[in-house]
Structure 1
Amino acid sequence: MKRVLLILTLVAVVFACASGPKRLDDTTDFVADSGGLTSQELVRAAEKLADQIGVYFKENPQDAGVFVAHYPTRNDTSEQIQTELFDNAFVSKLIKNKIYTVRTKTREQSLSEIQFSLSGLTSNKLSIGKLKSPNYFVRCEINENMFTSDGEKIVEQSINIELVEVETTIAVWSEKVSYRKQAVRGNRGVGW
């Protein structure tokens, strides 16, 4: 009886594994049927743009160092795009290029922790004078344009990024990365 139960369990496990989702190679380049940017495209664009900013600062070194405030990427498309994935890859690549990101959104939390440490209730005292202010900030947005070409619907999504000097508000560098995709044809007509 135990042997039959064991065999049935093994058959069930094999059947469940065979009909479950199949793991795909994450180095394979896919195009989304929806027309939205894939995680690979987002990461590739983030790394390319961060490397270009790294080149800009190698050509234009800053004596005080480079501290960038990166504001969350704005998604102005019809698709749900994981902008956080782009932002995380972008910041990670900036750090590898020795460009540091100042998290302006967490400044209040930092000030609260510093105030608590100065109350004398902690073993180590933090100094408020060590907070960094950004000397540049980065704005990024993803835009979309849909059009037809030779009767085929095309969607073009562009990642636009701008590096602005804080003191002068001058945009010192700007770039974009675009992806064009053809709509998917199926039994239900044309869709994204």
Structure 2
Amino acid sequence: MQKTFLFLLFSFFIVSCSTATSYTKPENVKATKQWGVVEVKETVKSMSHSLSVYYKTELKTGYFEWSPLQNSTSEHIDTKLITNEILNQLTKDKVPFVDTSVRADATKEIAFGKTGMVSSDSRLAVGKFKSPSHQIKGEINEVVNYESGNKIQYITVTLFLVSLETNQIVWSEQTNFLKKSRVEGYGF
């Protein structure tokens, strides 16, 4: 009897201390009090579709470059995650991008190739860089109010496409979220 009790107590201890991890599809995740999967997925879906359509119907040529998104909210938001997901979707939609941050490394490699120490079949050619014609910029902003124990948060994600040649904003899109969540300990 005592051995059975100790076994059950030990089993309970092991089970209660173990951690379980599970995965779910991002489409099935529910909204949370913090910025999360729901907001990222909705932003990526609306922004990438709108920008892809604009590129294919209006611009039809040129290369895009990203400028880091600015997070002006009180929440920690991984703006690089949003950028990467939009970039990934637009690349799948055949919208062309350039990454000017690799120019210095590429320039060094081209110079090294000219030394004769690199075989001609893998040497980088001079004059092949592409310049961005447009830059994507963006901001995440919020307005927060507290009413009757609830936090009401209006969040906007805005992207702009700016022509580098004219500095004109040629496209803009916004995704909005109105989140209402109960605040613990409100009124104390």
Task: Give the structure-1-normalised TM-score.
Answer: 0.79
Unaligned runs of 5+ in 1: 1-6
Bigger strand fraction: 1
**SS of residue paired to 1:129:** coil
Q: Hey, what does 1:37 align to over in structure 2?
A: 35
Q: Aligned partner of 2:112: which letter?
A: F
Aligned length: 177
Distance in structure 2 (CA, Å) of the matches to 1:59 and 1:138: 17
Q: Which moved more, 1:117-126 or 1:51-60?
A: 117-126
Unaligned runs of 5+ in 2: 1-6
Asked if residue 92 in structure 1 is aligned to residue 88 in structure 2, the reply is yes
Q: Which moved more, 1:101-110 or 1:49-58?
A: 101-110
Asked if residue 189 in structure 1 is aligned to residue 183 in structure 2, the reply is no
Q: Aligned partner of 2:24: which letter?
A: D
Root-mean-square deviation (Å): 2.7
Distance 1:107 1:40, change over 3 A: farther
Q: Quick one: percent identity of the two aligned structures? A: 28
**SS of residue paired to 1:133:** coil
Q: Hey, what does 1:82 align to over in structure 2?
A: 78
Determine which of 163, 166, 184 is the counterpart of 1:165.
163
> 1:144·1:156 contact (CA, 8 Å) conserved in 2?
yes
Determine which of 149, 154, 177 is the counterpart of 1:179.
177
Moved over 3 A (4+): 148-152
Distance 1:125 1:141, change over 3 A: same
Query: What is the correspondence of 1:32-181 to structure 2 with a 5 Å cutoff?
Result: 32-33=32-33, 36-62=34-60, 65-123=61-119, 124-148=122-146, 152-181=150-179
Task: Give the structure-2-normalised TM-score.
Answer: 0.81
